[in-house]
Each structure stands twice: as C-alpha cells, then as structure tokens.
Amino acid sequence: MENYRHEGKVKHRIISNLSKWPEDLVIKLEKLLKGQAIFSISDFEFSQGKSIGGLIVAKEIFKRLGLYGLLSKSKEGRLAMIQICGRIFTQKSRLYLATQWSKTHALGEVFNIEAFNEDDLYKNLDWLSNKQAEIEDMLFHQRHKSGTIKEIFLYDVTSSYLEGQQNELAEYGYNRDNKKGKKQIVIGLLCDNEGYPISVEVFKGNTNDTRTVASQLKKLKERFGVEKVVFVGDKGMLKCQQIDEILSDEFKWHYITSITKSQIESLLEKKVIQLGMFDDQLAEVEYEGVRYILRRNPLRSEEAEKSRQSKISAIKKKVSENNNYLISHPKAKITTALKKIENYITNLKMQQIVSCYAKERELYIEIIQENLENAGMLDGCYVIKTDIPKKEMGKEFIHDRYKDLALVEQAFRTMKTSIEEIRPLYLRKENRTRGHVFVCMLAYMAIKYMCDQLKDTGFTRNFILETLDGIQYIEYKFDKEKMKVMPKKLLECNNLILEKLNIKIPTYV
C-alpha cells in the first residue's frame, strides 16, 4: 500500500496484493525495501568457463584484414574461421578440433557456429579450395589499390612432405625437409612488399621451381589486375626463360634476382666486374642493359671460412680414427678404409680441396692449397641483377627489396614448423590438400598482423598466442539461469597485448 493526503486527510491506496505471491519472493521484496541484499554470493555457483581471449582477438584481426566480412555470412565461412583459429592456437587434427578443442573453446559464443563434426571440417576444405581465388581476389583489392607506381611482389617456393602414398598431388622431388622416402607437394607463396601473403598455390611434388613462375605472373595480371610490377625471386627461381617472360610484350614488367657463383666467375673472366669491387659497401656495374649490384657480406665470409676449416679438421680426425683402427686390426683392408675416407670427403663436398691416399698401411691427406685459396675467393660474395633503370630505383633500394625475400622464408618457417605446423599432411584428395594449405596461409596473415603490432613488446609469437588462449570466461549459475562474465583482472602481459592491439574484451559473453 501507499499513503497519500487528500483534503487534509491521510488515505491509503493498494498497489499490489501479495497474498498470492510465493513466500520467498515476499521475503526478498521486504529485504529490497529495507535496502538489504537479496542474494548472497554463496547463492551463486560459479565455474571456470571456456577459453575465449584468443578467439576474440582473432575475430577482431579477421575484421581488420577484411576476412571476417567475407566468411561470416555463411556456415561454411564460419567453419573456415574455426579452422584458421585451430591452425593458430593448436595445430592438431580436424578430429581433435571437432571433438576436444570445441569443448574447451568458446567457438559458438564468438563465431555463432552450431555443432559440427570432423566430416564437416573435411568438406569445408573442399569449400575453401573452390572459393580460394574469390577470397584471395577480394582480400587483395581491399589491401592494394592499383596505381601508377610499381608494385613489388616477392615469390618463393618450398616443399612439404606427406604421410602415406595416396595423395593426388604427391610425387617424389627435391626434398627440403630431409625426409627420405617421403612423397611431397610443392608450395608457391606470393607476398606483397611487406611480406603479407596474397596468394598460395600447390603444385605436384616433382614440379621444378622455375615452372611455378608463369602462373604467378598470369595471376597478377589477369586476376589481380596489376599493371606495373617488379617481380622479386631468387636465382633458382628466375632464370633466363622466366626473365624473358617477365620482359615479354605480354607483361613488360621488371625483375630483381641474384646470380649463381658460376655466373659471377663468368663476369670476372669477362672483366665486367673485378674481385676488388666486392666489399661490405654496395658497388654497381651496368652491362648489356642489366644492372649488377655487388656486395661481400663479411659475416658470411667468416662463416664460410670457419665451415671449410671445420670440414678439414673433421677429415683429419676421421683419417686418424681409421689409422688407429688399421693398427689394432691387422687383417683390416687398407683399400676399404681409403674408400670410406674418399666417400666422407665427397659427402662434405671437399674433393676439390682435399685428397686422400694410402702408403703401406697408413692413410694420408693432402690439402690442395691453390684450390683452397680459390674456394675462399668468393666467400660471402653475392650479386643482385635487375633491369630497373637507375633513375627509378637506386642500388640500395633494389638490394633491400631482394633481401625482403627473407619475409617469404619467414612465412614458410611459421607455416611449416614454428607455429602452424603445416606438415606432415594426412590428406588424400587434391582439393582438400589445397584447402589445408590455404587455411595455413590465412592463419599466417593473422599471425603476422598480430606480431607486427606487438613487435615492440619483446614477446615471442608463441608466448603471445599462449597467453591470449589462456583467457577464459567465468560462468555463474543461479537457479536455472547462467551468466558468462569475463574476469575483471587480467595478467599484466595480457593487458599490454590488448592495449597494443587496441582490442577491448567485453564484460559479458
């Protein structure tokens, strides 16, 4: 009831009749009117919720890269984002993602995804493979605006070994993983001048590096619509045929690459360059319309000399061991020991510098001093070549752009071993193999963006990902209701990471 005054008299007005209310609600109302707490913290049950911090950060980065807008509109797209997050945070199988990881991570809350199983994720790889060109094109045009300036693109290839023999792209080829007897695939990665991947392509495992270039040039011209290009690749990638194609009437683009040791020796013989021009400062020579930029890296030179001397010491030690064996084993054949040393020298690629011979029952080595001096002549020396006119790009700029190929190598290291662990692949179908590699490329885009923003913190990539993945919400339960709340206080490192990324974690999930 409430009291009110009318014509000088106090009267009462009934607001609500509580006679039909449950007793517990009447008691709570009474406490509320008296300013007392209705509930005690002991009335709530609370428990540790699912991991959510890393997923929230990943979602925000997807938005900034333009990826979320492309993928969030369909279930397949949202499943793709879950696969990308899986590569970033756990690197385990699709079975694990569907059965274990989904139980400990707030996938539904962050990506609005319904229940899914392993088969859904495998089918999603088919979807990603079919959509790859469309997604790459949209991401490229969001990031790059074609104009009058020359755009610089970095390209390199790697290989990744396979488990099993039935993958539709699997072939034996030049193995970079030191896995003898394993079939492989070849992966070509095209990046912009900042090292952000713009396209990835999977080739059969026996594809030569040079044969992958043509499709990249065609991709840049026809799909991405780039008009002015400087194509950067290493000496194993851009050979005469590939350079001719870049310069052809179809493209009329430019290139930056390096040359082999034998090509350097050929230029020395022709006296186009002199040995004295190699220094830690850049030198430049122009010959038949091609610019050659020369440098000697003193650190690499020192490393090469130490490596050579280390090999000579190892050969001497091996000879001493075999001589001791011959002394203690009178029946051992000297010819067998000599053959072992010769094979050892060949494996170390020192046969031009070191020779071994036998005298009676003892082995000796001879150092060919002239060859040793000649071998060290070009230690640390390298030559970059390009057709770009001097008035457009200086030698320092060209040198730095060639060195930017290290950004592609870094991408491969991240995708293959250090974080995403693209290998080994347990896939058979061509489409799904391509989809898996595409997932790894998209995951690297997010990782690179995150690490570029956080490079001043001094945190390693693994630490950043692990500490974000450790942020979990707290779930409160009262009666039949549940409430998911983010912790009020985070670790200092988490706060710094979120601050640098300019990402705010919501109070409620």
Find, among 86, 161, 158, the residue nearest to 125 by Cα. Answer: 86
Q: What DSSP designation does 212 have?
A: G
Query: CB within 8 A of 273, min separation 6: which ones?
Result: 264, 267, 285, 292, 294, 383
**Which pLDDT score, from 0 to 100, does residue 1 have?**
84
Residue 401: CB atoms within 10 A of its CB come to 19
The Cα–Cα gap between 45 and 23 comes to: 23
Low-confidence ranges of the chain (pLDDT < 50): 148
Task: Give the N- to C-terminal CA distance of the chain in Å, as an integer.
Answer: 40
C-alpha gyration radius of the chain: 33
265: tokens are 């020796």
Domain span at residue 8? 2-38
Same-domain check for residues 54 and 103: yes
pLDDT of residue 148: 47
Whether residues 28 and 53 share a domain: the answer is: no
**Could you tell me if 436 and 125 are in contact, meaning their C-beta atoms sit under 8 angstroms apart?**
yes
Q: Are 56 and 103 found together in one domain?
A: yes
In a domain, 16, yes or no: yes
CB atoms within 10 A of CB 182: 20
CB atoms within 10 A of CB 97: 23
Residues 349 and 328 in one domain: yes
Domain-embedded: residue 106: yes
Residue 146: per-residue pLDDT: 54
| Number of residues written out for the chain | 509
In angstroms, the CA 176 to CA 185 distance is 11
How many domains does the chain fold into? 3
Residue 75 located in a structural domain: yes
The last residue of a domain, from among 331, 365, 399: 365
Tell me, yes or no, whether 352 lies in a domain: yes
Residues 63 and 25 in one domain: no
Please indicate, yes or no, whether residues 74 and 107 belong to a single structural domain of this protein. yes
> Do 51 and 110 fall into the same domain?
yes
Give yes or no: residues 31 and 62 share one domain: no
- Is 155 contained in some domain? no
End-of-domain residue from the set 345, 365, 385: 365
254-258/229-232 β-pairing: parallel
Asked if residue 83 is part of any domain, the answer here is: yes
Distance CA(90)–CA(85), nearest Å, equals 8
In a domain, 78, yes or no: yes
pLDDT in tens, 312-349: 999 999 999 999 999 999 999 999 999 999 999 999 99
Residue 66 token pair: 């333009």
Helices (H), 180-297: 213-218, 240-247, 261-269
Scan for tokens 């992966």, then name that residue.
187
54 with 33, same domain: the answer is no
Judged on CB neighbours under 10 Å (0-12, 13-18, 19+), 500 is: middle
In this structure, are 112 and 60 located in the same domain?
A: yes
pLDDT reported for residue 208? 93
Classify residue 19: in a domain, yes or no.
Answer: yes
Determine the pLDDT at residue 40: 65
